[in-house]
Amino acid sequence: MEAKLPLQQEPTPKKTFELFQFLYKYGTILTIFVLVAIFAAANPSFINGDNVINILRSISIVTIIAIGITISLTVDGFDLSVGSVASLSNAIVISMFVWFSQNTLIAVLSAITAALIVGALNSLMIVKLKIPDMLMTLAMMFIIQGTALTYTKGATVSENMILPDGSFSTGTISPFFAKIGQVPWIILIMAIAVIVVHIFLTYTKHGRYMYVIGGNKEAARLSGIPVNRYKTAAYLLSALFAAIGGIVLASRVMTAEINAGSPYLMDSVAAAFIGFSVLGAGKPNAFGTFVGAVLIGILQNGLVMMSVPYYAMDIVKGTVLAFALGITYYKQKH
């Protein structure tokens, strides 16, 4: 008789605590708590209610613009033109009041229309001519910067400004419009944008289709999803939120300065990419983007209160972005 070989027992998997997995899911939120503790210890006024409101107000425009970038990322795109679109919207909405004495509705619709034209041009070049997203939106960024500068003739647009003919502008900014950039409205607009986009991406078929396209464009096409239509919609929505950010910025500062929206690009990109890892989402999402913006806002506010020179801020923000990108892409490859 043949001797029976003993059955080989499969090794039982060890339930090890994966530190990296934990940090990937909760690292951003833990970092926020650690930073709050450090800054509060250094300066107790950091956690005052007024300062918390100040942080939320400071990240409102960044969050709104970053939400647009988040939408473009869902379809595996990347919109670098959002800062310039915000500048253009800022210039148009203020000029409608100051130069043309228009009401709030006309001023806001004019700014949004200009932004949607940019979004349509982006999507046309990317979807139809197959130009890579990053290259096309980078080119568009320069085009829109030049357009905004040409439109304003390089001047700051404000009430009672001197016009090219030597006269003073007579138009005034609507008091109603001026309230948009004030607390609590600026924070409410940010909250509504985050909630609406979170619901859209998470709980509607259109949002799910965008994620499918971002995950595997060819598989999405084969399953009957109109890929080009959704990519076009993503760039239109990205431009729309950039326009809203520019309009809110205009209401906050009550002027249109040269390239006013450009400084928001880096912070918005950082917030969107930091959001990938929040709660282990592993994909662009509105809530994660908001948490990323909160992290950046706390960093900026805390460093200012600790009297860190403003020119060192970009070092910190760049480091945070590099760290977030490193974690995100390491996770995607493992």
For the residues 232-252, what does the mean pLDDT come to?
98
State the sign of the Cα–Cα–Cα–Cα dihedral 14, 15, 17, 23.
positive
Q: Is the pLDDT of residue 303 over 80?
A: yes
The pTM of this model reads 0.92
For the residues 95-118, what does the mean pLDDT come to?
97
Q: Is the pLDDT of residue 311 over 90?
A: no
DSSP state of 46: G
For the residues 199-217, what does the mean pLDDT come to?
96
Assigned fold of 48-333: ABC transporter involved in vitamin B12 uptake, BtuC (1.10.3470)
Per-residue HEC secondary structure of 237-249 comes to HHHHHHHHHHHHH
Burial 221-260 (b: 16+ CB within 10 A, else e): eeeebebeebbbbbbbbbbbbbbbbbbbbbbbeebbbebb
Q: What is the mean pLDDT of the chain?
A: 90
Give the count of beta carbons closer than 10 Å to the beta carbon of residue 2.
4
Lookup: tokens for 183:
């607390």
259-292 pLDDT, tens digit each: 899 999 999 999 999 998 888 788 999 999 999 9
The SS3 of residue 157 is strand
